[in-house]
Amino acid sequence: MKKELRFAFVIILLVVFQVSSQEKEIITKEEAIARALENNFGIKIARNQVEIAENNQGILNSGYLPRLRGQAGAGYDLNDRLTEPEDRENVDQKGIESNRYNASINVDYTLFDGLGRLYNYKSLKEQYDLSQLEARETIENTILQLMSVYYEIARLTQNIEVLQDVLETSQERVTRAQYQFDYGQTNNLAVLNARVDVNNDSINLLETRQQLHNTKRDLNVLLDREIIDKEFVVDTTVGFIPELQLEAFVEEAALNNVSLLQIEKNLNISDYDIKISKSGYLPTIDLTGSYGWNRNRSAATAFFPGSTTTTDGISAGVSLNWNLFDGGGTSVRVQNAKINYENQELLKKQIELEVKRNIANAWGNYQNKLYIFRVQEENVTTNQDNFERSEEQFKLGRITSIEFRQAQVNLLDAQTSLNLAKYDAKLAEMELLQLTGQLLNIKL
């Protein structure tokens, strides 16, 4: 009786799950990627870094614009003064006031700085391009992570469909065994075995559903959705890119791989660093100009009357500064910049080898996964045919329930293996697309 109650409870749970799965929100692959690009925290940070780099490479940070400064000041003095002439009486003055006022506008402009400003401006342009490549790498990695979770949801969804079919078949087997037992055509052992299989199938289905719910929460977090338990379904269809097109992508990988493009930008930046350091050997020419106004009011003294003086006017000048010897600092900076450039060249060679290896591995892995997927398709067809024949033979009483169950398990394993192989092959394809620099250019 207890077993029957547990069995009924499991069935009720499955029915509840089935009802709750109806009319859910559908999230397509394109919609998931669009939401990730809009809401993912890592992508937002990467875009902010690009914005910072864009600000840095603008004209306002170039050093080519003049500097304009305004200055103003005021002063007040209150003094007591005692004057003691030799041939006259002493003059004692109390509370002598004097005032000073000044204001000026100054302009400074560096006409020539040894070309350091020019190379720094070009370096900032390269750094902006580099930040865009880094943001692109972040987006590619996020999409790979996103789609691995997305396809895991799709795999579990299809597994649940398979497990539901298995459970329905097992339930029919329980009913059939019970009828046969009631009419004396079999013993109670067949009924018990059938119920055990139903319980096992129910447990597998419940566990798979729980895995699906957990994975859906992972996707909700990746998409920055406020309700992490919000239900939805995904698109389980998968298409593969033609092999000839993939081969063309592999041949052009050196021109599109994001890691190789980044190291090229770093090489350019290092080259500009050398030129910026060398600018310390050359003189700088500065232009200055100003307009000033001054007003001074002084109190009378024993010998001079009080006066107020006001002056205003403009001034301009040019100056040349040439640091003929700075203690070797410029020379050290140049040497270090050259060493850094050499390191970037070595790193480029290393990255080129690693990218070639990774693409070769990814290409082989993709072909292997795709072959496994094709074989699993054939395997499912074979096991489906075997199951249908076994089911027919079982109904006719020509094979035992154990043999029928084995055919059922074989079909289940083949179908779930097919689901796994399909999405593994697609993820392998996406990894290959990322390495060839085409992940953001292909419709998934």
List of residues 6+ apart from 24 with CB closer than 8 A = 231, 232, 233
Mean of pLDDT values over 63-85: 85
Cα-to-chain-centroid distance, residue 382: 44
| pLDDT confidence band for 87 (50 / 70 / 90) | confident
User: pLDDT at position 12, please?
Assistant: 46
User: pLDDT at position 421, please?
Assistant: 97
List of residues 6+ apart from 222 with CB closer than 8 A = 36, 40, 142, 145, 146, 149
| Average model confidence (pLDDT) across the chain | 89
User: pLDDT at position 418, please?
Assistant: 97
Global confidence as pTM? 0.83
Each residue of 213-239: pLDDT tens digit?
999 999 998 888 888 888 999 999 999
> Above 60 in pLDDT, residue 380?
yes
User: pLDDT at position 189, please?
Assistant: 82
> Above 60 in pLDDT, residue 10?
no
Partners of 286 in the β-ladder: 110, 319
Each residue of 384-433: pLDDT tens digit?
999 999 999 988 888 888 899 999 999 999 999 999 999 999 999 999 99
Spatial distance between the Cα atoms of 323 and 331, rounded to a whole number of angstroms? 12
Largest Cα separation within the chain, whole Å, is: 153
pLDDT-wise least confident of 22-26, 46-50, 129-133, 257-261? 22-26
Mean of pLDDT values over 269-274: 97
Each residue of 122-170: pLDDT tens digit?
999 999 999 999 999 999 999 999 999 999 999 999 999 999 999 999 9
| pLDDT confidence band for 21 (50 / 70 / 90) | very low
| pLDDT confidence band for 289 (50 / 70 / 90) | very high
Instruction: Name all contacts of 81-90 with Cβ < 8 Å and 24+ positions apart.
Output: 81/301, 83/301, 83/302, 83/303, 85/302
> Above 80 in pLDDT, residue 437?
yes
Strand 284-298 relative to strand 67-83: parallel, antiparallel, unpaired? unpaired
> Above 90 in pLDDT, residue 65?
yes
pLDDT-wise least confident of 64-78, 198-212, 376-390? 64-78
> Above 60 in pLDDT, residue 249?
yes
User: pLDDT at position 271, please?
Assistant: 97
Q: Report yes or no: 173 and 196 within 8 Å, Cβ to Cβ.
A: no
Spatial distance between the Cα atoms of 393 and 388, rounded to a whole number of angstroms? 9
User: pLDDT at position 378, please?
Assistant: 97
Nearest to 262 by CA among 368, 136, 120: 136
| pLDDT confidence band for 91 (50 / 70 / 90) | low
User: pLDDT at position 307, please?
Assistant: 73
Q: Report yes or no: 183 and 224 within 8 Å, Cβ to Cβ.
A: no
